[in-house]
A and B are shown apart, each in its own frame.
Chain A
Amino acid sequence: EAGVTQSPRYAVLQEGQAVSFWCDPISGHDTLYWYQQPRDQGPQLLVYFRDEAVIDNSQLPSDRFSAVRPKGTNSTLKIQSAKQGDTATYLCASSLRDRGANTEVFFGKGTRLTVV
């Protein structure tokens, strides 16, 4: 079974540039998450979807960040005008809807973003 796939693996931008990250979750997983992980910190949730619907985007900086999952499968996270503070690893994860025992969340390898 293929895991969560993300691309690109690395990105280096100047401030003000835009970038998009792409995620292909595990087949059949209805829930998809985007996390931001600054160096030496734990992952912090930005947004998550159930199928194509946004369930929670309260931590997504809406002025510069956007995320879509139009067909309930793949997802794209976009930063419109990057800032140095956006330097972090962006992790995509997927899971099945919480059905009690089945609570495992699977992570992709992440995209390491550096904004200079």
Chain B
Amino acid sequence: GQGVEQPDNLMSVEGTFARVNCTYSTSGFNGLSWYQQREGHAPVFLSYVVLDGLKDSGHFSTFLSRSNGYSYLLLTELQIKDSASYLCAVRDRNYGGSGNKLIFGTGTLLSVKP
């Protein structure tokens, strides 16, 4: 069946890096998005990937392996303000019309310590 899985929590140290993992199962993969969500706020779009490999966007980079149903979001040079929940969302072309529908994971709460 369909599903998007993420670890609940992740802790890292300011100035270092953090890798947020996401595994998914879908019948008609049509891309994967990453969102940042702070407590009490709406999700904010970070990145979209549909092809295998690493996509470097500076502070955020994303990796995708379609054959393994796996993606990660890499945050480098962490700052305290990067503490937030990071949501992985998959598009499935076989689910809900044109495939523009996002299926979200439960999110990973990243805590960045001094």
A residues contacting B by CB (< 8 A) are 4, 31, 33, 35, 40-45, 48, 50, 55-56, 58, 91, 95, 97-98, 103-110, 112
The answer to whether A103 touches B106, judged by C-beta atoms less than 8 angstroms apart, is no
Q: Among B33, B96, B106, which residue has its beta carbon within 8 angstroms of that of A105?
A: B33
Contacts A43-B87, A107-B42 given: A98-B99 contact, CB under 8 Å? yes
A45/B102 contact (C-beta < 8 A), A55-B96, A105-B33 known? yes
Within residues 81 to 104 of chain B, which ones have a CB less than 8 A from any CB in chain A? Answer: 87, 89, 91, 96-104
**In the assembled complex, B17 has its CB within 8 A of some CB on chain A:** no
Q: Which residue in chain A gives the minimum CB-CB distance to B41? A: A109
CB distance from B36 to the nearest CB of A (A): 11
Question: By the criterion CB–CB under 8 Å, are A42 and B106 in contact?
Answer: yes
Is the beta-carbon distance between A50 and B42 smaller than 8 angstroms?
Answer: no
Interface residue count for B (Cβ, 8 Å)? 26
Closest Cβ of chain B to A75, distance in Å, is: 16
Q: Provide the bound-state CA to CA distance between A104 and B107, in Å.
A: 18
List residues of chain B with CB under 8 Å of any chain A CB.
4, 30-31, 33, 40-45, 48, 87, 89, 91, 96-107
Contact between A50 and B97, CB atoms less than 8 A apart: yes
Query: Are A98 and B106 CB-contacts (below 8 A) given A105-B33, A105-B45?
Result: no
Number of A-B contacts (CB under 8 A): 68
What residues of chain B lie closer than 8 Å to A98, measured between beta carbons? 30, 91, 98-100
Nearest CB of chain A from residue B73's CB, rounded to whole Å: 14
**Is there an interface contact between B42 and A103, defined as CB atoms closer than 8 Å?**
no
Q: A58 contacts which chain B residues (CB < 8 A)?
A: 96
Q: Which of A41, A56, A108 contacts B42 (CB 8 A)?
A: A108
14 contacts between A and B (CB under 8 A): A33-B102, A43-B87, A45-B96, A48-B101, A55-B96, A55-B98, A97-B98, A98-B30, A98-B98, A103-B31, A103-B91, A107-B43, A107-B44, A109-B41
| A33-B102, A41-B107 given; 17 more Cβ-contact pairs under 8 Å | A4-B42, A35-B104, A40-B106, A43-B43, A43-B104, A44-B104, A48-B100, A55-B97, A55-B101, A98-B98, A98-B100, A103-B31, A103-B100, A104-B45, A105-B45, A107-B42, A107-B43
